[in-house]
Amino acid sequence: MLDTNPSASASSAAWALPGWLDRSYRWVSRLLILALGIVATLWILSRLRVVFVPVLVALLLASLSAPLASFMTERKVPRIVAAWTTLVLVVGVLGGTVYLVTTSIGSELTNSTEWEEVYAEVRTWLQTGPAGLTESEIDDLERGLEDSLVSGIQSMGVSRAATFVEIIGGVFLALVLFFFVVKDGPSMWSSLVAHVRPQRRTTVDVGGRAAFSALQAYMRGIAVTGVIDALLIGIVLALVGVPLVIPLVILTFFAAFFPIVGATLAGALATTVALVTLGIREAIIVATATLIIQQVEGDVVMPMVMRRQVSLHPAVVLVVLGVGGALAGLVGAFVSVPIAAMVTAAASAIRDDRPAVDDQLGEEQASDSS
């Protein structure tokens, strides 16, 4: 059909965007929509952290202890017995480790020296050391720290009871969900997939199983990272002569499962032990070495390990951690990498399995038409 209005066509062609600009516009639009979706999802999850975090913790524990439960069920152990055994072992190992570590470290901190001596030594070092502070400057610094601590406690006072109840409730919910996932995980997943439309069941099943496998790989990656971090810090503590090397190494390993806050608390505790038992110079050495090791672990070791375990590029791991922490604080940093690993694994599995899914859909459509 001939164009009856050539002037209008010429005008439209004159105002048309260049090809490269049109393609850039389309890509930018898609990326903006994707970014908005990710931000909205993280915001919603941060609002629902009271429920979402226990669910994710239960899945993480279940993915870590799945081989033990499978080992028992393969030996004809009833699933409920395997679930109870796994729950008791996990709670016993975690609770026993925390009790032994905190007891030994607390005993060393209270019995090794007097805190007044440590306080006087720190003040003397601030005056005679590199800082070169005067008495009045140290007093001002001390008052500032006290005011900051008091204001922080007062700001937490209003929600302290609510926070305590939230933590206790979250721990209880996580343990209950962990038990049910270990006991009825396969049947729960089969029931969930059965409620999906028949045309999508294979896709959902493939994606879900790949996501859980990625979660298991993520936990293995965290464990490997924790072992490397703990060994390096343990070597430094042993060379410096800090006591309680074994408890501090164990604490450092478990701290790896809590991004940002875990490493900070473990490093601060190791520095405190060095300060109380040995002195300021040794505490500075431990603090510096711990900071360097944790930076290398967070920026190099962990991304490289995660790349091998969950097929996420190190740059992606760093960006995901940063975005999650910026949007939802510690909760966002805790959940961002496993969520990214699960989504990536599910998408890859669905893409790789797409021919089989398309064949199944074709067979179902053919049977429906007949």
Instruction: Please write the tens of the pLDDT for every residue from 4-49.
Output: 555 545 455 555 667 777 777 777 887 788 677 767 776 776 677 7
pLDDT of 186-226, one tens digit each? 888 888 888 888 878 888 888 888 888 888 888 888 888 88
Report domain extents, the chain: 49-151+162-361
What count of other Cβ atoms lies within 10 Å of the Cβ of residue 244?
21
**pLDDT for 151:** 61
Task: Give mean pLDDT, residues 125-150.
Answer: 70
Confidence band for 101, pLDDT divided at 50, 70 and 90: confident
Q: Is the pLDDT of residue 314 over 80?
A: no
Residue 205 structure tokens: 């099943």
- Percent pLDDT > 70 in the chain is 76
Place of tokens 């850039």: 24
Contact, 253 vs 229, CB < 8 A? yes
- Dump the DSSP string for 263-327: HHHHHHHHHHHHHHHT-HHHHHHHHHHHHHHHHHIIIIIHHHHHHHHH---HHHHHHHHHHHHHH
> 92 exposed, middle or buried (CB, 10 Å; 0-12, 13-18, 19+)?
exposed
Q: How many CA atoms lie within 13 A of 153 on its CB side?
A: 5
pLDDT mean over 152-156? 52
pLDDT tens readout for residues 324-357:
777 666 777 777 778 888 888 888 888 776 555 4
Question: Does residue 363 surpass a pLDDT of 60?
Answer: no
Average per-residue pLDDT for the chain: 76
**How many Å apart are CA 254 and CA 270, to the nearest integer?**
14
